[in-house]
Structure 1
Amino acid sequence: MKLKYLLSVIAIVALTQNSFAQYSQDAIRFSQTTTGSTSRIKAVGNAGTAIGGDLSNVTGNPAGLGFFTSSEFSITPEFNGAKTNSTYFGQSNSANSNKVNLNNAAVVIYNQLSKPRGADKSKGWLSVNYGVAYSRNSNFNQNIRYSGTNGSNSINSFFASQGNQYGIGSGSLAGWAYDQNLIDAYNLNTTPPSSEYRANNVGSTAQEAIINRTGGQSAVDFSIGGNYSNKLYLGLALSFTDLRYNSYSTFYEDGALSVLEGGIPANRDFTSAYSQNQLTQGTGFSARLGVIYKPTEAVRLGAVFTSPTFYNIDDIYYEGLASKVGNNNQIQNTSDDYQLNYNMRTPLKLAGGASVFIKSFGFITGDVEYVDYSKTRISSGNNYDADLLDNPDIKSLYKSAINAHIGAEARISSFFLLRGGYGIQGDARKDNGSDIKTVSGGVGLRFGAYYVDATYAHSSGTQNVFPYDIGNNNPAAMLKNTNNNGYLTLGYRF
């Protein structure tokens, strides 16, 4: 995150704040969500816009609540197995993270509307049903490790660039690097004479990054859906979101430095570790409007409008630099906590889909969703100017994307159902990333009023990450992220 609180009263804070990681990256991270749902909908590729009558409608298309003819409850725990394979300067590594979460829990209360005696009970408003659900909409749990030998540059070059841009004031990152002999002032052959800060590195450096991320986004939804003449179904939902994201990263280097000892240059081995830690939490609010229409008994057409989510976010960031040069003792510096409260607006979403039901044999369903991530906005405050870099970065680095899903369910018998699906989550980045593709499959078992659904989903995508920014020739690690998720839904109709 690039901490840019404009606190002019403390020079060191201002210097450090302009040096680091970007809120624009967090804004997009928090805008990319996948609605928590039942195992049934997960199995059909998360293509639930036009299905109706599933508890996922509480958190998806609320119009689907109008299909319920009885009350229902379900709970869906999830196993998430995340793996990140990395390639950095030709060297491969991998890291894993396994977590068990509650993905979805929902209840729908069926409310049949009364009709006057003698009225056609198949016409007009037939029912208005209510739903409440908890869902986990994104999972930030991830461990990343990459390493290799960099013969072109060093993170010390980044520290030097900070010194050239902001100086080496006491307590600044460049000041720490200067005090630890990682960078130095070199005279330039100019008129008048001048100098610049440069890295003291000699030869190649061994580099390694270790990143641990935890947290996620979850929501509590309150939905209402009505059935008009078994043809038109309308719904409204209000969603209250909770956000938690923690990131702990350390970048290590081993190599050699040219340092002055008694005024004479000498090459000495060194090790360094630069740590950045971020703790973020927030709350948000959004709304959804949904519709499903049945032109024939076998066909359902659905659409959902999801408003932007309006977040209020608290962020804490702190960093540290430690190094050991030659036989000298280790030197370590750490910052105070940099705290910021800000508001963020995610982009709105538009989704449309269709389902075709083949009598009692099952259905085929698909939907698409449009999201323009470049419309994400961060609000400036008294001590933070979001329009300085972050909002322009969002507009220039990110783009619109299409999320597409398709799936099918086959009723093998009255007891057993088989499902499969495929989904694509469009990449928000203009460069250095790929779509996330998911293949899923599952089964369903029916026991009268009780049911059990199980689903397995495998997703994968790639991205390039840059450990530091020196303008040109930035080193990049290529990451391939894969998730192997298992979902189990236990449900009861009453």
Structure 2
Amino acid sequence: MKLKNILLTSLCVSSFGATTIQAQTINEGFLFSQENNGGTARFKGLGNAKTALGGDISSITGNPAGLGFFGQSDISITASYNNAANEGSYFGSKVNKNKGRFGIDHAGTVFHFPKNEGYYGWQNFNVGLSYENTNSFNNHVRYEGTNPDNTIVSAYSDEIDITKNVAFADDLTRLKLIERFADAQQGYFPITNEMEDKQQVSDILTKGFSSRTAIAFGGNYNNKFYIGGTIGFSSFRYENSDQFSERGWTKNRATVLADNPGSTFADPDHENSKILDANYELFDENYIESEGAGIDFKVGAIFKPAVDWNIGATITSPTWYTIDRYAESTITADYYDNETASDSFFGADIFYQDQEFTYRVVTPWKFGVGLSKFFSRGLISADAEYINYGSTKIRTSGAIDPSWEEGWDADMKDTYQAVVNVRAGGEYLFTNAISGRLGFNYFGNPYKNADNKQYSGSMGLGIKLSHALYMDIAVVHLVNDYKASRYTIDETFWDSSNPIASIKHQRTNAVLTLGVKF
């Protein structure tokens, strides 16, 4: 069977066996490599097109060369409301879920140190400190429907075939979910009925955040060339609570006999026979908790070939994370005489708990270029960023088998690819005190073998409250359309297509920045 690649491209899979633990770690390695480019409301309103712009506290983690544009010190704080809305479509049924949260997106300060009162030479050397929320993991995705084609128990059987996990096979046998084929080389077949209607529900709740605390340095040479560097200290906490349920009917005696004439389920005198033609309910629950911290570096430069043009570039090192992970999984099966019965005549569960373990992730290098054009009443700015997610490295630490590293590297390259993210934005000064902003982001698809459309639009407003005080507001709306599969099967072996859900994820971020120059 071709299970290895199928497992690795699943959104979520059951946590049984070394192969699946490795697959989950691959997914997490990618997840922790992504950032939403947090910052102040001004740059969010501009679509975060900040590689060739300066003079904003977001430059600390955007392009630190932008600190050289500060002519005085500055301090600000940015509050936000983040709402995630999801629509899951599965076998013709649609379910909507929302999850929102208030928080602090950004806080920082820049200290201005002038160096030269003349026009030539180094004009200033500025230092910035900031905290920013780089990603929010708060989300709730649910989809449900009637699947007439296959059962999650087929995925369990496939996993046993790949991992040769005898203990898992024994546990599923005890739950009355599987039986051996007459030809033992074929492995196991489900007692649950593949080709009849089954009510399936997938409910995934995630919580957590990633953040970066940074210190940056930037200088201005001749008001033509700006250079800077950043040291970032990242951390995150991530929780994933995933429950999948399936309810339907078990096979009849004739169907079981076709797969194994000697099956105990087909023997009228065996206790297993009462499991046939029964209504069943199966729950597959997984919980993952991860925490990590890391360090990264960034260098940037901005050049002004003319007074109304900026050209910017950045290079961002990998973030070297150390991650502590805990996971546990439960499968429960209950059998009923009919669909309306409230008491099961047989039920059992199996519980798996991973010991807490530590591993390391090295995220990809990032390369950015940007261009800004200034007008008498505004500006236009655009960025392009290159990231190769397939180059993400996952390394063992402590009790994990070091031999997994080679497989991780190969699986990352097989699953993820390089992307180019594009950001663009503009600002127009309505009056000397009020400005308006618009922005757009396009995110490249990081998956080699899956559709993933993601883009966002933004708008904002800037208000000078006084000579020193200012306020910026912005709203960012992100849309992410993708396909998800709670489990995958060997389609050729089972002569059935994988059950695919269509997810439309929309995230709205409203932000408010208050700042003062001094």
Whether the TM-score (by the shorter chain) exceeds 0.5 is: yes
Matched, 1:299 2:309: yes
Determine which structure has the larger strand proportion and give its number: 1
| Aligned-pair CA distance for 1:142 | 0.9
Mapped contact 1:39–1:76 kept (Cα < 8 A)? yes
Mapped contact 1:150–1:206 kept (Cα < 8 A)? yes
Q: What is the identity percentage for the equivalent residue pairs of Structure 1 and Structure 2?
A: 29
Mapped contact 2:16–2:352 kept (Cα < 8 A)? no
CA, structure 1 residues 434+18, in 2 after alignment: closer, same or farther (shift >3 Å)?
closer
| Aligned-pair CA distance for 1:427 | 1.7
| Aligned-pair CA distance for 1:195 | 6.9
CA, structure 1 residues 207+124, in 2 after alignment: closer, same or farther (shift >3 Å)?
same
Instruction: Summarize deviations over 1:178-209 as a string: whole Å, max 9, x none.
Output: 21111122323xxxx76731101232211110
> What corresponds to 1:43 in structure 2?
45
Matched, 1:236 2:253: no
Q: Distance in 2 between matches of 1:195 and 1:34?
A: 46
> What corresponds to 1:262 in structure 2?
269
Mapped contact 1:156–1:177 kept (Cα < 8 A)? no
Mapped contact 1:464–1:476 kept (Cα < 8 A)? yes
Determine which structure has the larger helix proportion and give its number: 2
What aligned pairs does 1:207-226 form with structure 2 within 5 A after superposition? Answer: 207-226=200-219
Read off the aligned partner of 1:351 and give its amino acid letter. Answer: G
> What corresponds to 2:363 in structure 1?
346
Q: Mean Cα displacement is larger for which, 70-79 or 336-345? A: 336-345
Matched, 1:452 2:459: no
| Aligned-pair CA distance for 1:168 | 6.2
Mapped contact 1:83–1:95 kept (Cα < 8 A)? yes
Read off the aligned partner of 2:358 and give its amino acid letter. Answer: N
Mapped contact 1:24–1:391 kept (Cα < 8 A)? no
SS of match in other structure, 2:54? coil
Matched, 1:88 2:97: no
Matched, 1:64 2:66: yes
> What corresponds to 1:11 in structure 2?
none
Query: Number of residue pairs matched?
Result: 470
**Which of 180, 195, 213 pairs up with 2:175?**
180
CA, structure 1 residues 164+369, in 2 after alignment: closer, same or farther (shift >3 Å)?
closer
Q: Distance in 2 between matches of 1:224 and 1:40?
A: 21
What aligned pairs does 1:373-388 form with structure 2 within 5 A after superposition? Answer: 373-381=389-397, 383-384=400-401, 385-388=403-406
What aligned pairs does 1:379-458 form with structure 2 within 5 A after superposition? Answer: 379-381=395-397, 383-384=400-401, 385-447=403-465, 448-458=467-477
CA, structure 1 residues 195+425, in 2 after alignment: closer, same or farther (shift >3 Å)?
closer
**Which of 197, 219, 240 pairs up with 1:204?**
197
> What corresponds to 2:384 in structure 1?
368
Read off the aligned partner of 2:128 and give its amino acid letter. Answer: G
Instruction: Summarize deviations over 1:329-371 as a string: whole Å, max 9, x none.
Output: 4322222233221111111111111111113x11111111111
Q: Distance in 2 between matches of 1:88 and 1:215?
A: 27
Q: Distance in 2 between matches of 1:234 and 1:271?
A: 62
SS of match in other structure, 2:353? coil
| Aligned-pair CA distance for 1:111 | 0.5
Mapped contact 1:180–1:323 kept (Cα < 8 A)? yes
Q: Mean Cα displacement is larger for which, 297-306 or 19-28? A: 19-28
| Aligned-pair CA distance for 1:478 | 1.3
> What corresponds to 1:320 in structure 2?
330
Q: Mean Cα displacement is larger for which, 253-262 or 222-231? A: 253-262
Instruction: Summarize deviations over 1:108-147 as a string: whole Å, max 9, x none.
Output: 00001156xxxxx111011100000001111111101011
TM-score normalised by structure 1 residue count? 0.91
> What corresponds to 1:467 in structure 2?
486
Mapped contact 2:461–2:473 kept (Cα < 8 A)? yes
| Aligned-pair CA distance for 1:217 | 1.2
Matched, 1:127 2:124: yes
Mapped contact 1:163–1:175 kept (Cα < 8 A)? no
CA RMSD, aligned part only?
1.9
Mapped contact 1:44–1:419 kept (Cα < 8 A)? yes
Q: Distance in 1 between matches of 2:205 and 2:440?
A: 29
Q: Distance in 2 between matches of 1:480 and 1:211?
A: 14
SS of match in other structure, 2:396? coil
Segments of 5+ residues of structure 1 without an aligned counterpart are 3-13, 116-120
Mapped contact 2:249–2:277 kept (Cα < 8 A)? yes
Read off the aligned partner of 1:394 and give its amino acid letter. Answer: M
Mapped contact 1:107–1:131 kept (Cα < 8 A)? yes
